[in-house]
Structures are given as C-alpha cells and as structure tokens.
A and B are shown apart, each in its own frame.
Chain A
Amino acid sequence: MKNKRWIVYAACAVVILISPAALNRYWTDVLNVIGLYVMLALSLNIILGHCGMFHMGHAAFYAVGAYTTAILNTAYGIPVLWLMPLSGLLAGLFALVIARPIIHLRGDYLLIVTIGFVEIVRIALINNIFGITGGANGIFGIDRPTIFGMKISTPGQFFYLIWFFVAVTIYLFRKLEHSRFGRALNYIREDDVAAAGSGIDTGHYKLIAFVIGAVWAGFCGTLFAAKMTIIAPESFNFWESVLLFMIVLLGGRGSIAGVILGTFLVIGLPEIFRQFATARMLVFGVVMVAMMIFRPEGILPPPPRTYRLDGDTGPEEAA
C-alpha cells in the first residue's frame, strides 16, 4: 500500500519534470505559476493545515519578500538570488513582530486580523510607504536571476529553477512534518489545551510555525519578483490570500500531496475552463462548492500517522 503511493508520487514527479518538453511557452508558464503557488500553499499549510491557525493573510509575507528583493535589486544591483535569504529573513521578522501580540486570538478572530494585516500591507504599498515601494505602479526593471553565469529568462528555464525549489520545499517540509515539532503542531491543532497540559509551550510553537511559513513565503516572493521583473501592490491583495487558503483546504489540511493537487486544481482549472470564456469563474465557483460537499476533508486528506515501536511488529496507530 505504502509502496504503491510512492510509485504514484514518483510517476507524477517524472511527468511534471519532463512536461516542458511537450508544452508550449504558455502552458510552461502556467506550470511555473503553479510551482510558485505550491511553495506558497505548502508554507501556509504549516500554519493552517498543521497548526490549525486560521490565517488568511499569507500574501502579506509574500509581498514583504518580493518587495525586499525588488527594492534592493533595483537600487543596489544585488543579484536577485542572493537576496533570497534576506527576503525570507525580513518576511520572518515581519511575521514575528505582527504575530506576537495576536497569536493567542482564537479561530475567526485571528482570521479577520490576518485579513486586516494583508489589507494594511497592500494599502501601505499603494501609498508608497517610506518612499521606496513605488506606489500603485509598483517596481519594475528587476533583474533576471543568473545561475553560474547563465541567465534565466525563458519560461522553460524558470520551470527548472522554480520546481527545483518546490522539490527542496517538499523534502524539507516532509522532514518537518515527521519531526517532534510537526507532531507538536498537530497536537495543538487537535486540542491545544491538552497540548499545553502535556508540556507543549503552545504560544511558542504557534509563533514558530507562523514564522516558518512567513520565511518561506518570503523566499517565494524573491522567485516571483525574479520571474515577473515587475511587481505591484495588486499582486498581493486579499484575493491571493483567499486563493491560498482555498488551496490548502481543498487539497487536504496537513497533506503535502493534497496541497500540491489542490494547487493544480485551483490555479489550473480556471486555465482549462478558458473554453467557457467569461463564465469560467462561474464554473469554478460551482466546482468549489461541489468539491467541498463531496469531499469535505479535502481531496487527499493526510493518512493517519503510523509509527512502528521498537520490538513491535505491527504498526501502531497514533493521531
């Protein structure tokens, strides 16, 4: 059973990796966008899926990363990819500062506060805060990234850059999920009072989850800025956060494979529905409702955690 799953995953990975050869520039670019959203959604998955915090403002951290890259690259000419760690760091710091006072808020109160933050960030960017964000027009003329002297500019080249980072993300987040930290997050999601009673410092863990998610969103911001070469506040509006939120819930909270599949559906379906022209988002809305009714736990909910105890032959079920 477990091996079968791995065969399916490996087959999907191979199909994705060789797909640019069979696709034209447009569809390769769609795959690039999906790759970026996979990374973003996986980082949100840590916060929303694993830790169960209702966070609908992920675009704010994405924006901090993208603007850090854009400003430092256009003003000082620092190579884009060098800025990636700094973008992640700043996004993480930003998350730390804003999340610290609100981390104790419950469910829907946290939801509206995170929505509030993403709106404040967008308004601040439009109003050209500190005089460095370029206002409503944004920032343009961001350099293309270079790797070992090779300039990355076509969708095909970006495909390998983005999906390389997607692969790294999947690997690291899988490790995280199965670590002590990941288990603690799941415990907090299921019952944070019991988790606190078992000696988990819930506030601390929630904050770390928030910061990890934000750092990753900052990394994505760098890739986004490099890919677009122009960024504007409207790329980081409330709707982006809603899309990410829907991806995680539609795919399956806390399931890496589910979130990836969810991204393909949420970002890919409107592209496929182009034949419906203006009605495509209408169809998309209906599909959304229908999918939730038929699979309320998401398309690929995570399998129950299983552990083998030392000296025990049978698998041990654990929540």
Chain B
Amino acid sequence: MEFFFQQLTNGLAVGGIYALIALGYTMVYGVLKLINFAHGDLFMIGAYLGLTLLTALGLADHLSPFGVIALLAVMVLALVAILGVVLERVAYRPLRQAHRLSAVVSALGASIFFQNIVMLIYGAKFHVYPHDLMPRTVVHIFGMPVPLIRILILLASVVMMVGLYTFIQRTKVGTAIRAAAIDQGAARLMGINVDRVIALVFVIGPALGGVAGLMVGIYYGQINFTMGWIYGLKAFTAAILGGIGNIPGAMVGGLLLGLIEAFAAAYLSIAWKDAFAFCVLILILIVRPTGLLGERVAEKV
C-alpha cells in the first residue's frame, strides 16, 4: 500500500510538471495551430536560468528556502517569458501566413539553436542543483510518508493551472484569447488586437514552461541541455492526450501521463516506461481521435 502511495504521489508530481509544459503547447496551438517544438527547450532554459540565478545571486544565504524558490520562480518566469516573446517575433510571426508546416520547421530550427547555445554556454555535462536547497521534510498523509517537495510541486502546478483557467474563462483578456483561438479574422473584426493576444500567449506558455524547468531542477537535482526534447515530447503527448488546444485537456493529460508512467515503471517494467506512455496515447487516439476532452472538429466543406 505504501509503495502504491509513493507511486501515486510521484506520478502526480511529475504529472503536474508535464501539465504545466503541456499548457504552453496547447495555448500556442489553440491560437496559432502551430506545434511549438522549441517549447521544450524554453523549459530547459528555465531550469538552467534557475540554477544560474541561484548560484550567482547567492540567495540561499539571505532567505528561507521557500523565499529563495519563490523569488527564483518569479525571475525565471519573467526571463523565459521575454525569451518566448522574442522567439515568436523572430521565428514565427514572419511565417503566420505561410503553410503550417513551414512554421514547424522554423520551430525545429529554433529548438536546435536553443539547445546548442545552452551547450556552448554551459557545456554538455549534467549540471547539479544544490542538495540543500529544499529541506528534506517528509510529511505524513493518511499515515504514509510523502516527501514535502512532491506536495509542493503538485500544489504549485495546480494553483497555476487553476489561476490560468480562471484568467482565460473570467477576464476580458482571457475572452480575447479564446476568441482569437476560435476565429482570428472574426476576433480582429470585433476589435481584438490579435497580435497582442498571440504575444500574450507566448508570455504565458513559456513562463509556465520555465517554472516547470525550475521544478524539474529542484525535484530531480540534475539538468542537461538535451532534456527539453524528452520533456517536450512527453508534454506534447499529454496535450494531445487531453485534446490539443483545450486547456483543461492539457491538465488532465499531463496528470494522467505522469500517473501512467509512474505506475508502469513501478509495476510493469522500467525499461519500457516510455513505450507505455505512447502505447496508451495510441490506444486512446484510436478510440477517441481528438483526445479525451477534444471537441469534434467539424469538416469544412
């Protein structure tokens, strides 16, 4: 039972991280119909920026662990958001009228660029987050020990997701984002500045991805310049699983994927862990071709 509970909390924490990254994919997809293959690399840059800021500013000497992490999260969030906007301006905006796949190649090029610039700056080796960043507290839930960090990661990601969902559903700007996702032309006619909406999407998505990068750094303790690919792929899988373009779908998909992986690794075979995630994805798409929460797309004739 305790083993099961450990897998459950681990799966939820990892799933929360996947969901945060998946939100970036799904929001960009919703508005631009573009798979932002560079998103995973923005996530990776978030992890590196977190480490650099932590060591360069020497925050740990002055603040409590939670203060350090909160401050780091805010700084990473802001910096990665800036990077996201620049990426959109340089690599995607000139291609907005072009075929969708042209922008995909541009995204792949940007991804290669980001990976290699991080490799040139930091080197190809693994980088390690300080072990004493978080106190290794263990709390007991229903009498079972759970590392505090897992709860915090899950909590933080759920708070961000709920916040985003409320923002999208309840505010005027959120409504503008939804309108631009449904029909850009009509949104423009209603007086919505679609360029600003797209820029905003490229603020929110990468910001969440950057924070997820910081979380992975703290949770696993080591980061590498190639990790953006595998996490990006997983998160993209999560977004598709839930139905791409759909914000609650990304959250459900992320958490589900995290749980599938944790349980598959624990009970079936760790060597086949990654394959299970894809098998489940394929099975779900065979039954529901637009993902779990995806709407049926009407045929345009």
Contacts and interface: CB of A to CB of B under 8 A. Distances in A.
Given A286-B113, A287-B109, A292-B109, A106 B297 contact: yes
A249 B102 contact: yes
B105 interface: yes
Given A124-B275, A246-B108, A288-B108, A282 B102 contact: no
Interface string A105-117: 1111101110111
A116 B282 contact: yes
A309 to B, nearest CB: 29
A289 interface: yes
Contact of A278 (B101, B120, B278, B300): B120
A284 interface: yes
Contacts of A287: 109
A268 to B, nearest CB: 16
A199 to B, nearest CB: 16
B112 A284 contact: yes
Contacts of A105: 285, 289
Nearest to B273: A123
Interface string B71-92: 0000000000000000000110
Nearest to B281: A116
B272 A242 contact: no
B279 interface: yes
A127 interface: yes
A109 B246 CA distance: 14
Contact of A101 (B35, B109, B286, B297): B286
A285 interface: yes
Interface in A9-24: none
B102 A109 contact: no
A123 B29 contact: no
Contacts of A285: 109-116
Interface of chain A, main secondary structure: helix
Interface stretch (B126-134, B183-191, B236-244): B236-244
A102 B278 contact: no
A162 to B, nearest CB: 26
A106 B289 contact: yes
B144 interface: no
B103 interface: yes
A282 B120 contact: yes
Interface string A238-251: 10001001100110
Nearest to B106: A292
Task: Give the residue among A126, A287, A288, A298 with the most B Cβ atoms within 10 A.
Answer: A288
B87 to A, nearest CB: 10
A296 B95 contact: yes
Interface in A113-132: 113, 115-117, 119-120, 123-124, 126-127
A289 B90 contact: yes
Contacts of B113: 282, 285-286, 289
A115 B275 contact: no
A54 B101 contact: yes
A145 to B, nearest CB: 33
A245 B98 CA distance: 17
B282 to A, nearest CB: 6
B173 interface: no
A177 interface: no
A250 B116 contact: no
A105 B289 CA distance: 6
B18 to A, nearest CB: 14
A127 B272 CA distance: 8
A293 interface: yes
A120 B275 CA distance: 5
Contacts of A111: 35
A120 B271 contact: no
Contacts of B110: 285, 289
B285 A102 contact: yes
A6 B301 CA distance: 39
B299 interface: yes
B95 A109 contact: no
Given A109-B240, A249-B101, A293-B95, A126 B108 contact: no
19 contacts: A108-B29, A109-B285, A109-B290, A115-B233, A116-B237, A116-B278, A119-B275, A120-B278, A278-B119, A281-B115, A285-B112, A285-B113, A288-B106, A289-B90, A292-B102, A292-B106, A292-B109, A293-B106, A297-B99
Interface of A: 54, 101-102, 104-109, 111-113, 115-117, 119-120, 123-124, 126-127, 193-194, 238, 242, 245-246, 249-250, 253, 278-279, 281-282, 284-289, 292-293, 296-298
Interface of B: 29, 35, 90-91, 94-95, 98-106, 108-117, 119-120, 229, 233, 236-237, 240, 244, 271-272, 274-275, 278-279, 281-282, 285-286, 289-291, 297, 299-301
Given A54-B101, A123-B275, A282-B120, 19 more contacts: A108-B29, A109-B240, A109-B290, A112-B240, A113-B285, A116-B279, A117-B282, A119-B278, A120-B278, A124-B275, A194-B301, A238-B229, A249-B101, A285-B109, A287-B109, A289-B90, A292-B102, A292-B103, A298-B102
